[in-house]
Amino acid sequence: MYFDDSDDPIDICLDNVFKAVFTRNTYASQGALSKLISALIGREVSIIAINANEPPIDNIRDRQIRFDINCKAENGELVNVEMSLNPDPFEPVRLEFHAGKLFIGQDIRGSDKSYNDLKQAYQIAILAKDRFFSDEVILHTFEYYDMEHSVSLNGKSRIITLELSKLDKVIEKPIKDMSAPEHWGIFFRYLTDKAKRGKINEIIKYEEGIAMASEVLISISKDEIERARLMSEYKYELDLQSKMVYAKRQGLQEGRQEGRQEILDLLKNGKSVEEIIKDFSNNKEQ
């Protein structure tokens, strides 16, 4: 498996494409998902089930912006993994919220069960654009931890982030000197860059899971109907997002125009600037 100059794969960093590659009922897709998660959590796991989540894998309507893959490992551990093309400023607290929901979603009711029956839960976010954390580390694993006394709670929930924006120096390293998360990061970020095609093919030879993901992606990219569906899906997301941003900006602009007109009216009625500022401050406090 390798990419040549004539290949035109869809960008796997588009979250709907990411989900399409890793959620198919094929050996290659399921194997790629297991290998990806194993690389990010730092040990071998085998994914045996993808739970029902929204939007459905093959649905092209009634979708939401973020496409996540909610799955279960052979040992019962829970994993939610997603590609975030444009993470929001509130991403850390969002990840904490969903990690909590994933963990407490386990059912330990019953006379024969206890808290010890709870399984590990991993909320994984691959952050495609923009530097999110200020350091140079591409892979972060967060858990409950007493920073002052350097003591871990040794709990069972983890938040893992992989930042693709920090790979500029990593790609210059020899393949054998890269970690497994770095291999996956390079694959995600530079796959559509033909100048980096040679490096991608080296990684494919080195990482079985990436070879599997490439196989699925090539199949999707060459399937005209599937490619059109995914591009239509992505266009829908961008249109929806653009409309929301436009409405927000329009509302702010109208609010500013109304405010300016109100100030002009107050000045015409003989109020001083100091009085107007005081009135506006009082209104904000109310």
- 216 domain residue, yes or no: yes
The answer to whether residue 210 scores a pLDDT higher than 80 is: yes
- 121 neighbors 102 (Cβ within 8 angstroms): yes
For the chain, percent of residues with pLDDT exceeding 90: 52
Rounded CA separation 265/280 (Å): 14
Q: Are residues 56 and 127 in the same domain?
A: yes
The last residue of one of the domains, among 222, 251, 268, is 222
**Binning pLDDT at 50, 70 and 90, where does residue 65 land?**
very low
Q: What number of residues does the chain have?
A: 286
**Cα–Cα distances in angstroms (integers) from residue 87 to residues 20, 93, 138, 172, 203, in the given order:** 20, 12, 15, 26, 27
Mean pLDDT computed over 79-100: 89
pLDDT in tens, 95-118: 999 999 999 999 888 888 899 999
- Is the pLDDT higher at 57 or at 15? 15
Q: Are residues 65 and 158 in the same domain?
A: yes
């690389």: which residue's tokens?
A: 39
Domain count across the chain: 2
Mean pLDDT computed over 134-163: 94
- Is the pLDDT higher at 69 or at 249? 69
Mean pLDDT computed over 221-248: 64
Its domain, for residue 135, covers 15-222
- 216 neighbors 210 (Cβ within 8 angstroms): no
Q: In sequence order, which residues have a C-beta less than 8 Å from that of residue 104 and are 6 or more positions away?
A: none
Mean pLDDT computed over 154-176: 94
- 2 neighbors 204 (Cβ within 8 angstroms): yes
Nearest to 33 by CA among 138, 24, 4, 97: 24
- 6 domain residue, yes or no: no
What pLDDT does 62 receive?
40
Residue 129 in 3-state DSSP? coil
What pLDDT does 60 receive?
39
Mean pLDDT computed over 153-164: 95
- Is the pLDDT higher at 136 or at 273? 136
Rounded CA separation 72/107 (Å): 14
Say which DSSP state 135 is in: S
The last residue of one of the domains, among 222, 237, 269, is 222
